[in-house]
């Protein structure tokens, strides 16, 4: 299930904001607007991030993991980041925000 902002704590909202600085190097748009961040949960200064990639076997996975960890742990109240790479639900272009679609020249 995808994350709903109304159910996030202030720290989790700050994490999502920080993740907007993590740019997918292939597409040039941030992970949040691409719809690749499915859920964040912060408990006891540990943030769990459920995310996916646009394709399985993405060669940039490790680079993105490092950038995500750096962004998440930059938030006050977060000391550690655990990334869970998931494939369900499968990512599709409909998960992108309007901002991402405009940035990529996708017209609906």
38-57 mean pLDDT: 92
As a whole-number percent, the residues of the chain with pLDDT over 90 amount to: 77
Give the pLDDT score at 1. 42
| Beta-carbon count within 10 A of 24 CB | 20
Check if CATH label 3.90.25.10 holds for domain 5-101: no
Does the pLDDT at position 61 exceed 80? no
Element (H, E) at 102: helix 98-103
Give the pLDDT score at 4. 56
Give the pLDDT score at 13. 96
The domain locations on the chain are 5-101
Q: How do residues 1-20 score in pLDDT, each as one tens digit?
A: 455 556 899 999 999 999 99
**Cis peptide leading into residue 50 (ω within 30°):** no
């Amino acid at each position: 299930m995808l994350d709903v902002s109304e159910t996030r704590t202030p720290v989790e909202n700050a994490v999502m904001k920080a993740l907007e600085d993590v740019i997918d190097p292939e597409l040039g748009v941030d992970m949040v607007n691409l719809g690749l961040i499915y859920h964040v949960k912060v408990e006891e200064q540990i943030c769990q991030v459920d995310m996916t990639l646009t394709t399985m076997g993405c060669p940039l996975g490790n680079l993105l993991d490092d950038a995500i960890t750096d962004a998440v742990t930059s938030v006050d109240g977060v000391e550690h980041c655990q990334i869970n790479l998931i494939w369900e639900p499968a990512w599709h272009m409909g998960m992108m925000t309007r901002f991402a679609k405009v940035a990529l020249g996708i017209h609906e």
